[in-house]
Amino acid sequence: MMDLPIAAGDETLVQLDADAKEFVLRQAAEICSAVSFLHKQIKDDQASTNLVRSVIGIAEHSIADISPKLGYDSLLAIELEQRNKHIRDANIRIRELEEMLGANRPLDGLAEQVRVLNKTAEKFWRNQGFGGYIHDFNVTSHGGIHMKLGFSICELGHLINDHPVTERKSLQQRIDSLKERGFDLLKMDTDNNYAMADNDNNRLKLLLVIKTQYPSAKVISFNNSLAEHNKDDYYIREIDIRVHDVRDFADTAADNGQPDKQRRNP
């Protein structure tokens, strides 16, 4: 193990209040999980450039978030704050210009634009193999998008489909693809019915999928439920997210929501 240099006079214990301690522990756990996952992918020669950028981007922002609470003047935190300030200033100017234009712009077509964004998100989520179940899709007061991404991995379309054999084959291919991508699926009953298991591996992978597609997204919560057939197992029912920059959806529309496509660094 690498020896970390300890400067003289650094023996003072860090004092954190309850809120700061829980926040730092949560962020530190996310950093450890992300870096551990990256370590495994590199070891197995499975680390794509896009994955490296996403994981390091998550780790960078988490380190920047906890540095002030730990009393560390992180150069990374300062750099990110300066970078974010430039982005905020630019976005403020953009909103000012949009408001100036919007004062003379009719609202005709606004509802249709929101529906298009919704359909774009559904297509992206479905192409990932999670099903197109998205609800509570709405525009926030700051011009972003709030939505809840649900899972319908084993859609029951084969029960009413004119091609039940083809539908079952498609379902099995979707399940196999998710397993090959490293997702842990929870078998729900005796039928070929699976759900997304609630564990650290799946949460990290889903976070990377979301941040890669929507770099400005913030995951508000993972909402889970207890599996009825096994009281020790939980599955992820939906993910509550907020996309701050609606322009992320323009990229989604351009690439048709295909998974594993390289995108800008979050």
Residue reference for tokens 């976070």: 207
Q: What is the pLDDT of residue 157?
A: 45
Query: Do 142 and 219 fall into the same domain?
Result: yes
pLDDT of residue 97: 55
In this predicted structure, what is the pLDDT of residue 18?
87
pLDDT band at 81 (very low <50, low <70, confident <90, very high): low
In a domain, 243, yes or no: yes
Matching residue, tokens 């996952």: 37
Rounded distance, CA 100 to CA 94, Å? 10
What average pLDDT does the chain have? 76
Considering the domain architecture, whether residues 77 and 172 belong to the same structural domain is answered as no
> Domain check: are 83 and 125 in the same one?
no
Same domain, 184 and 83: no
State whether 156 and 235 are in the same domain: yes
Please report whether residue 153 resides in a domain. yes
* Residue 171 sits in the same domain as residue 247: yes
Same domain? For 20 and 42 the reply is yes
5 lies in some domain: no
pLDDT reported for residue 266? 39
Tell me the angle at which helices 110-127 and 248-255 cross, rounded to the nearest 10 degrees.
Answer: 60
Percent of all residues in the chain with a pLDDT value above 90, rounded to a whole number: 15
Number of domains in the chain: 2
Looking at the fold, whether 223 and 124 belong to one and the same domain comes out as yes
Residue 8 lies inside a defined structural domain of this protein? no
| Of residues 234, 213, 215, 191, the one with CA closest to residue 120 | 213
Q: What is the pLDDT of residue 206?
A: 92
> Residue 238: is its pLDDT beyond 90?
yes
- What pLDDT is stored for residue 96 in this prediction? 57
Residues 123 and 243 in one domain: yes
Q: Is the pLDDT of residue 212 over 80?
A: yes
Is residue 211 a part of any domain in this protein?
yes
Give the residue numbers spanning the domain of 52: 15-105
Q: Model pTM?
A: 0.59
More confident of the two residues 253 and 104: 104
More confident residue, 186 or 2: 186
The pLDDT value recorded for residue 153 is 79
* Res 11: pLDDT: 73
* 125 and 226 inside one domain: yes
What would the mean pLDDT of 1-27 be, rounded to a whole number?
72
Gyration radius from the chain CA atoms: 21
Each as own residue / partner, the long-range contacts of residues 171-174 (CB below 8 Å, 24 or more positions apart, any chain) are 174/129
Strands 185-187 and 217-226: unpaired
Q: Is the Cβ–Cβ distance between 244 and 94 less than 8 Å?
A: no
When pLDDT is averaged across residues 93-108 and rounded to a whole number, the result is: 55
Question: What pLDDT band is residue 154 in, cutting at 50, 70 and 90?
Answer: confident
pLDDT of residue 229 exceeding 80: no
Read off the pLDDT of residues 155-203 as tens digits, 9 standing for 90 and up: 544 444 566 677 677 778 888 889 888 899 988 765 667 889 999 889 9
* Res 262: pLDDT: 39
* pLDDT tens, position by position, 34-65: 888 888 888 888 888 877 877 887 787 778 78
pLDDT value, residue 107:
53
Share of the chain above pLDDT 70, in %: 70
